[in-house]
Amino acid sequence: MFTPYFKDAHNIAKIVKEHNKNTLVVFGGAHASTFTDKVMADSNVDVVVVGEGEVTIREVLKRYKEKRYFEGVKGIVHRVNGIIKKETSQEPIQNLDEISFPAWDLLERDMEVVRQEQIKNKFLMRKPVGAILTSRGCPKECYFCSVKLMWGRKWRMRSARNVVDEIEFLKKKYGYREFHFVDDNSSVSKARMHEICDELLKRKLNVKVATPTGIAIETLDKEILSKMKKAGFYRLCFGIESGSPDSQKIIKKRVDLDRAKKVIAQANALGFWTAATFIVGFPHDTKKEIEATIAFIKTANLDFIICYLLVPQIGTEVYNILKQQGLIDLDKYVDVYSADWHKISLMYNHGFKTLAFSNEDLQNMLSQIYKAYLFYKIFSLRTYINLLRKIKSFEDFVYMAKLLSLPAKMVTKMVFGDKLSNTTMQGRVKKLKSIDT
């Protein structure tokens, strides 16, 4: 699923072909769609499905079953008499409601394992939890995001009725009581969010909903937030990334920070648990940008923050900037026959540097942000006012008690991070190499 682990898929393809060279091997997904030529350089791969796969893979399997050639199948790259041929692109599915729900029945035997894992997770209000993808793509142009490499910048949505149909099915069939919208951007359409809430309320499903992967702040206001709270939404995560207005323009995120604070304040007042993500290590970052982010975090009064070091995905605009600056070049490691393929994983784990800061500097800044946030939260009266606002029921009280009982070890890890020693990293690299062998 992720580029640092691409060699695993090629190793499996090799094993499959050694077992039976006539077995059809098809690759798909973000990595294969982005690095199609490099993937097809592996003679063990017969077909690559590029981009959205539901329509394409059906046609591939139909042709394979009928023992017909793949020429003319839209959305694939394949071999014709030893020559790699790229067919015309597959049109995006315009009506996502036409796609069947995932084959949840095939996961039944594993559901108990998932439930047991979720029991340990104190951040979940109800269990078990089901993940719902309600839309595809994102219309934003953030220069660090790899989503548009796969989906482009067009946003497509499932209808509110279709989304709630799946929620109702999962609740009645498998007993799911909480749902997470795992879209890249689930709230692009304010009207659809209203419709989703209306459907949840009309059907009286009594479920909890969270948006852990982010929700567009520009479409939210007190009216829609109030309805979302009534419909069962209880935890919102906002993709802010930087507290600097100048940075917002450079990274092409363009969040109105003043409006963001207003929306977060409205969400807090309604009893939502609020979180936001931030990124450290943009090529232009200075201490000024880090201080602006810390200042925003304090004044926004968020319940949680999630801070990351920048991970420049190959093919993104920010990756190309760092490459031009001579700070990164991972292209050569994506070659399936590269002896150094494991260095992608090594570098992603170890982190990157900028012209202004070393990786150690950036790690320290990450810790600095968490420390500033924690000290502020502990000594700020607003923190405790926020907590009181969240208690609307006994269930809310129990959930808060679980969060407040998190062990000190977790707080320590949040403050000081999980810095990997050279010895640890060398051990990981040796392990990767041994697996490859």
Q: 141-157, pLDDT tens digit by residue?
A: 899 988 877 777 889 99
Q: Residue 237: its pLDDT value, please? A: 94
DSSP state of 109: G
CA distance 254 to 143: 11
Identify the domain containing residue 177 by its residue range.
Answer: 96-416
CA distance 294 to 285: 13
| 159 and 48 both lie in a single domain | no
Report the mean per-residue pLDDT for the chain.
Answer: 88
Q: Is pLDDT of 429 > 70?
A: no
What share of the chain has pLDDT > 90, as a percent?
A: 64
CA distance 254 to 316: 17
Tens of pLDDT, residue by residue over 185-202, are 888 999 999 999 999 999
Predicted model pTM:
0.86
Using left for φ > 0, alpha for ψ between -120 and 50, and beta otherwise, residue 176 falls in beta
What share of the chain has pLDDT > 70, as a percent?
A: 93
Q: Is pLDDT of 321 > 80?
A: yes
Helix H or strand E segment including 258 = helix 257-270
| 111 and 82 both lie in a single domain | no
- Give the β-pairing of 273-280 and 135-136: unpaired
Scanning the structure block, which residue is given the tokens 């995120």? 253
Q: Residue 420: its pLDDT value, please? A: 39
Q: Which residue, 65, 86, 107, sits at the end of a domain? A: 86
Q: Residue 424: its pLDDT value, please? A: 41
**Does 425 fall in a domain?**
no
Q: Rounded mean pLDDT of 417-421?
A: 46
Tens of pLDDT, residue by residue over 8-35, are 999 999 999 999 999 999 999 989 998 9
**Does 432 fall in a domain?**
no
Q: Is pLDDT of 423 > 50?
A: no
| 80 and 113 both lie in a single domain | no
| 409 and 302 both lie in a single domain | yes
- Between 162 and 185, name the one with better pLDDT: 162
- Between 311 and 168, name the one with better pLDDT: 168
Q: Rounded mean pLDDT of 41-69?
A: 94
Q: How many CB atoms lie within 10 A of CB 32?
A: 23
**Does 437 fall in a domain?**
no
What CATH number is associated with residue 285?
3.80.30.20
Count of the separate structural domains present in the chain: 2
Q: Residue 409: its pLDDT value, please? A: 54
| 71 and 107 both lie in a single domain | no
| 259 and 127 both lie in a single domain | yes
Q: Rounded mean pLDDT of 336-352?
A: 82
Q: Which residue, 86, 105, 130, sits at the end of a domain? A: 86
Joined tokens for residue 351: 């982190």
Q: Where are the beta strands (DSSP E) in 289-367?
A: 304-309
Joined tokens for residue 283: 């090529």
Query: What backbone phi and psi angles, to 5 degrees, belong to 277?
Result: -105, 145
Tens of pLDDT, residue by residue over 85-102, are 999 999 999 999 999 999
Q: At what angle do helices 359-379 and 408-416 cross, to 10 degrees?
A: 130
| 75 and 106 both lie in a single domain | no
**Does 16 fall in a domain?**
yes
Confidence of residue 123 (pLDDT cuts 50, 70, 90): confident
| 60 and 131 both lie in a single domain | no
Q: Residue 426: its pLDDT value, please? A: 42
**Does 104 fall in a domain?**
yes
Asked if omega into 4 is within 30° of 0 (cis), the reply is no
- Between 205 and 120, name the one with better pLDDT: 205
CA distance 344 to 333: 7
| 148 and 187 both lie in a single domain | yes
| 185 and 247 both lie in a single domain | yes
CA distance 315 to 143: 10
Joined tokens for residue 124: 């979940």
| 228 and 157 both lie in a single domain | yes
Tens of pLDDT, residue by residue over 223-251, are 999 999 999 999 999 999 999 999 999 99
Q: How many CB atoms lie within 10 A of CB 50?
A: 23
**Does 337 fall in a domain?**
yes
Q: Which residue, 61, 86, 111, sits at the end of a domain? A: 86
Q: At what angle do helices 287-300 and 359-379 cross, to 10 degrees?
A: 20
Which amino acid belongs to residue 167? I
Spatial CA neighbour of 416 closest among 366, 358, 361: 366
Scanning the structure block, which residue is given the tokens 């539901």? 54
| 38 and 131 both lie in a single domain | no
**Does 424 fall in a domain?**
no
Query: What backbone phi and psi angles, to 5 degrees, belong to 258?
Result: -65, -40
**Does 410 fall in a domain?**
yes
